[in-house]
Every structure is written in structure tokens, then in C-alpha cells.
């Protein structure tokens, strides 16, 4: 499902449904919320994500804001390639 269709939804999306659409596990979503990478609202004791926040998260992810620098063997290989 393209991100445009998520952003065009009329109301809050249950966080577990957002995870299903984006193929993100509930554990990873929990980690993203804890780090402040994704903002949610609490409705009736359940986490929801607003369509605008889903679009912002996708934009930031596409820009590489959440990417980590390589470490371990990957960092060594990267240094050798340069």
C-alpha cells in the first residue's frame, strides 16, 4: 500500500495496522516510539498514529534520518573500499 493512501485516510490509524501496512514488527514500533521517531496518540488506551505523522515518518525514513553508520566488519570493509 503506497504511503499516499495512508496519509489520505480520514482519521487515526491503529498502530498495529500501520505496522502491518509498512511491514514493521510491533517490537520495532515500540522502539521507534520510545526513541521519539514516531509520535502516537492514545485513544481508549490504545496507540494510534495520525496520517500526517505517518507521512512525516515515511519522509524522514526515506531521507535516511534513522540510518546508522556501519560498525564492525561492515565498517572495516567500507574503510578498505575508500
CATH label of the domain that carries residue 63: 1.10.10
For the sheet with 13-14, list strands across it: 13-14, 46-49, 41-43
Cβ 75 vs Cβ 69: under 8 Å: yes
Domain enclosing residue 42, as ranges: 3-81
Structurally, how many domains does the chain consist of? 1
pLDDT, mean over the chain: 84
> pLDDT higher for 50 or 8?
50
Residue 1, pLDDT score:
45
> Which DSSP category does 38 fall into?
S
Query: Does 25 score more than 70 pLDDT?
Result: yes
> For 5-16, what is each residue's pLDDT tens digit?
676 677 899 999
Q: What is the pTM of this model?
A: 0.71
| Polymer length of the chain | 82
Amino acid at each position: 500500500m503506497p504511503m499516499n493512501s495512508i496519509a489520505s485516510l480520514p482519521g487515526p490509524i491503529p498502530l498495529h495496522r500501520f505496522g502491518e501496512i509498512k511491514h514493521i514488527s510491533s517490537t520495532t514500533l515500540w522502539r521507534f516510539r520510545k526513541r521519539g521517531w514516531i509520535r502516537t496518540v492514545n485513544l481508549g488506551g490504545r496507540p494510534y498514529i495520525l496520517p500526517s505523522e505517518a507521512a512525516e515518518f515515511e519522509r524522514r525514513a526515506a531521507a535516511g534520518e534513522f540510518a546508522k553508520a556501519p560498525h564492525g566488519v561492515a565498517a572495516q570493509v567500507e574503510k578498505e573500499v575508500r
